[in-house]
Amino acid sequence: MTTHTHLDSATEPCRHERGHITDSRFYGNRYASPDSRRIFCDVCRKQRWLDIEAALALAQAEIGMIPQDMADTIAATARLEHIDLDDVQREIERSGHSLVGLLRVFEEACGPDAGQYIHYGATTQDIQDTGQSLEIRDVLDVLQARLTSLVATFATLAERHAETLALGRTHAQPALPMSFGLKVAGWTDELLRHYERVEQLRERALVAQLFGGAGTMAGFGDQGPDLLERFARRLGLDTPTIGWHAARDRPTEFVSTLAMVTGTLGRIADEVRTLVRPEFGELSEAWRPGKVGSSTMPHKRNPERLEQVVVMARLTGAQASASFAALIGDHERDARALRIEWSCVPDVSHYCLAACDMMLESATGLQVHVDRLRDNTEVAADRVMSERLMLSLGRQMGKQRAHELVYDITQQAQTQCRPVREVLEEHTRAAGMLTSAELDEIFDASGYMGSSAVLTLRAVADARKRLAVMDTV
**Alpha-carbon distances, residue 40 vs 30, 81, 112, 291, 413 (angstroms):** 16, 19, 32, 31, 60
The residue among 161, 156, 155 whose CA lies nearest residue 371 is 161
Please state at what angle helix 249-275 crosses helix 180-205, rounded to 10 degrees.
Answer: 170
Give the CA radius of gyration of the chain.
30
Cα(49)–Cα(47) distance, rounded to whole angstroms?
A: 5
Note the Cα 452 to chain centre separation in Å.
Answer: 28
The answer to whether residue 171 is catalytic is yes
**SS3 labels along the chain:** CCCCCCCCCCCCCCCCCCCCHHHCCCCHHHCCCHHHHHHCCHHHHHHHHHHHHHHHHHHHHHCCCCCHHHHHHHHHHCCHHHCCHHHHHHHHHHHCCCCHHHHHHHHHHHCCCHHHHCCCCCCHHHHHHHHHHHHHHHHHHHHHHHHHHHHHHHHHHHHHCCCCEEEEEECCEEEEEEEHHHHHHHHHHHHHHHHHHHHHHHHHHCECCCCCCCCCCHHHCCCHHHHHHHHHHHHCCECCCCCCCCCCHHHHHHHHHHHHHHHHHHHHHHHHHHHCCCCCCCEECCCCCCCCCCCCCCCCCCCHHHHHHHHHHHHHHHHHHHHHHCCCCCCCCCHHHHHHHHHHHHHHHHHHHHHHHHHHHHHHCCEECHHHHHHHHHHHHHHHCHHHHHHHHHHHHCHHHHHHHHHHHHHHHHHHCCCHHHHHHHCCCCCCCCCHHHHHHHCCHHHCCCCHHHHHHHHHHHHHHHHHHHCCC
Out of 4, 6, 16, 171, the active site residue is: 171
Cα(10)–Cα(5) distance, rounded to whole angstroms?
A: 11
Out of 95, 294, 321, 446, the active site residue is: 294
The answer to whether residue 294 is catalytic is yes
Contacts of 448 (CB under 8 A, 6+ apart): 176, 177, 385, 388
**Alpha-carbon distances, residue 455 vs 83, 233, 332, 451 (angstroms):** 59, 44, 51, 6
**Residues annotated as part of the active site:** 171, 294
